[in-house]
A and B are shown apart, each in its own frame.
Chain A
């Protein structure tokens, strides 16, 4: 565990970058430091590998003062990923990745094999090994940056706004990849970002820092969203923290209905939609193909009159997968749907049912009540 113990960084001109900060960073999880610019998050990160020396306080690594070992040894035991990757432009990709292993005295062959293995792990085509950084896209360079940090298999990974400089699509890919790698490797990751969405997506624990380097709140993301400590944290989380919080509620418990789903061959064969579909109050019915895959929404009268035409169907939008997706995704699907109903599918894309905004709304209220009860219970347990 990394224990930051009432650490202060004061510069000679009197500016206080970090102010009596204490944090316990748990092993094998992602701890995110987030806050506006000037909140001391990068300074805090750099104090962990002593690129910045604290003015007061200590940083303990598994109980031992980080100043007890030589600074280069300390740094080589921690991977470091930086914005824009900071690759060595004069070295090939494989040599970039092999930097720390080579410094640690590994043989050339072994270091290169390790580099090749890591390229695969971070999703880089091995054919890029002999290229130079300028020949790679920004996202690929950032992957190399992650591979380079992992090269000597350090227990700790420090990441300083690593994905800020790439476009949103690539960033999402890199975030997903990081979560996947973390699942496999279980590193102790300290991750700095100014993007609260990134913090909530990646963090096991999130530390919100405010200007002047003071800790505003340190909590798991779901708790941050449900119980912001004060106005600053609430502001920082943004206006839609209620919606964001839905990401932490599963959609598996949603009550789906199949009454408003009909198969296209049923419509055409019988000339009228079968009983249950006719009985439901929905204004639109979801038409599927014979395989159960969604085709689109048909107006109720047309469907019951047997007059369904593929080109007149309303688009069914993006479906969600109960269990895999959160309530937030389900709600989003319903909001985007032209008829206000979300389509649920199984892993193969076959319709398992539909659900209205109203039903999702009820599920959200139920989840919130449960969440409150849970935190109250937790409060009692403490």
Chain B
């Protein structure tokens, strides 16, 4: 495995450097997608008729191959990281909008009614009740978007070496060094798994209020049977 971490100099980056670039190109679009998806999903929740066309449009966007996107965008943004990140942000948006809408819709009616009846206005209700309860669904969407984004960045290798770790795949062919391809694939897989684990951790942190697998659903009921309280 000699030279496994010897990155060809024309990539102008060390292995660690490539990882940094890769994470930037993969995660910034997910963040941008989330920022866009929140208001879009809020509108879809507010105006129910809006959701089907939004869902339709985003699904069509998702069907466009990333390469086609890149080719179109090169005319405007050139062979830059931005050209890679714009389609990735759109893909994230496509995954996140339905995740957030479904999450927000999963809030029970009586919870919303109670919130309204207690005098929470629409903004407070969205930020303090609907979004927190939708958090598990949103994180689930983020996991899908992040994993696919990390793997899709490598396509950027085709537009002026903007593929970060993906560039190693091209270099492997060019210099006949298959170990570079193995390096690229393994590194991306490990990154994807690490990010996923972090997101799972984030969900656990955000949702102490969810029943955990393996715990009894109603320990309080078992300990304090109704009526024996006083």
* Chain A: CB-nearest residue to B211: A134
Chain A 163-188 interface residues, beta-carbon cutoff 8 Å to B: 169-170, 173
Given A90-B132, A132-B208, A135-B220: A75 touches B226 (CB 8 Å cut-off): no
B73, CB-defined interface residue at 8 Å: no
Cross-interface CB contact of A82 among B114, B124, B210, B220, cutoff 8 Å: B114
* Chain A: CB-nearest residue to B117: A80
Is there contact, CB below 8 Å, between B118 and A125? Answer: no
A124, CB-defined interface residue at 8 Å: yes
* A233 CB, min distance to chain B CBs, angstroms: 30
* Chain B: CB-nearest residue to A71: B119
- Report which residue of B211, B219, B221 has the largest number of chain A beta carbons within 10 angstroms of its beta carbon: B221
What residues of chain B lie closer than 8 Å to A124, measured between beta carbons?
A: 229
Cross-interface CB contact of A90 among B110, B209, B220, B229, cutoff 8 Å: B209
Scan B116-155; emit 1 where CB is below 8 A from any A CB, else 0.
Answer: 1111110010000100110100000000000000000000
Scan A66-94; emit 1 where CB is below 8 A from any B CB, else 0.
Answer: 00000111111010101111111111100
Cross-interface CB contact of A140 among B113, B135, B221, cutoff 8 Å: B221
Is there contact, CB below 8 Å, between B220 and A131? Answer: yes
Given A72-B121, A75-B119: A140 touches B111 (CB 8 Å cut-off): no
Given A75-B119, A103-B119, A135-B219: A87 touches B226 (CB 8 Å cut-off): no
B230, CB-defined interface residue at 8 Å: yes
Cross-interface CB contact of B226 among A72, A78, A91, A137, cutoff 8 Å: A137
* A58 CB, min distance to chain B CBs, angstroms: 20
* Chain B: CB-nearest residue to A99: B118
Given A75-B119, A88-B111, A90-B207: A135 touches B226 (CB 8 Å cut-off): no
What CA separation (Å) do A84 and B221 show in the bound complex?
Answer: 16
Is there contact, CB below 8 Å, between A86 and B108? Answer: yes
B218, CB-defined interface residue at 8 Å: yes
Is there contact, CB below 8 Å, between A51 and B229? Answer: no
List 27 interface pairs A-B (beta carbons < 8 Å), by A numbering: A72-B119, A72-B121, A74-B119, A80-B117, A82-B113, A83-B110, A87-B111, A87-B114, A88-B114, A89-B133, A89-B209, A90-B132, A90-B207, A100-B118, A123-B229, A124-B229, A128-B224, A132-B208, A133-B209, A134-B209, A134-B210, A135-B221, A137-B218, A140-B224, A158-B117, A169-B226, A170-B226
Q: How many residues of B contact A (CB 8 A)?
A: 33
Is there contact, CB below 8 Å, between A90 and B133? Answer: yes
Is there contact, CB below 8 Å, between A86 and B133? Answer: no
What residues of chain A lie closer than 8 Å to B124, measured between beta carbons?
A: 103
Is there contact, CB below 8 Å, between A86 and B220? Answer: no
A54, CB-defined interface residue at 8 Å: no
What residues of chain A lie closer than 8 Å to B160, measured between beta carbons?
A: none
Not counting A87-B114, A137-B218, a sample of 5 additional A-B residue pairs whose C-beta atoms are within 8 angstroms of each other reads A75-B116, A82-B114, A84-B110, A134-B210, A136-B218
* A48 CB, min distance to chain B CBs, angstroms: 10
B52, CB-defined interface residue at 8 Å: no
Give the total number of A-B pairs whose CB atoms are below 8 A apart.
104
A44, CB-defined interface residue at 8 Å: no
* Chain B: CB-nearest residue to A177: B230
Chain A 258-275 interface residues, beta-carbon cutoff 8 Å to B: none
B217, CB-defined interface residue at 8 Å: yes
B65, CB-defined interface residue at 8 Å: no
Q: Return the 8 tightest CB-CB contacts between A and B, nearest first.
A: A86-B114, A80-B117, A86-B110, A75-B119, A137-B221, A76-B119, A72-B119, A132-B209
Is there contact, CB below 8 Å, between B218 and A76? Answer: no
A49, CB-defined interface residue at 8 Å: yes
Is there contact, CB below 8 Å, between A128 and B113? Answer: no
What CA separation (Å) do A73 and B227 show in the bound complex?
Answer: 35
* Chain A: CB-nearest residue to B210: A134
A322, CB-defined interface residue at 8 Å: no
What residues of chain A lie closer than 8 Å to B227, measured between beta carbons?
A: 169-170, 173
Is there contact, CB below 8 Å, between B132 and A140? Answer: no
Cross-interface CB contact of B118 among A80, A92, A169, cutoff 8 Å: A80
What CA separation (Å) do A86 and B111 show in the bound complex?
Answer: 4
Is there contact, CB below 8 Å, between A75 and B221? Answer: no
* B120 CB, min distance to chain A CBs, angstroms: 7
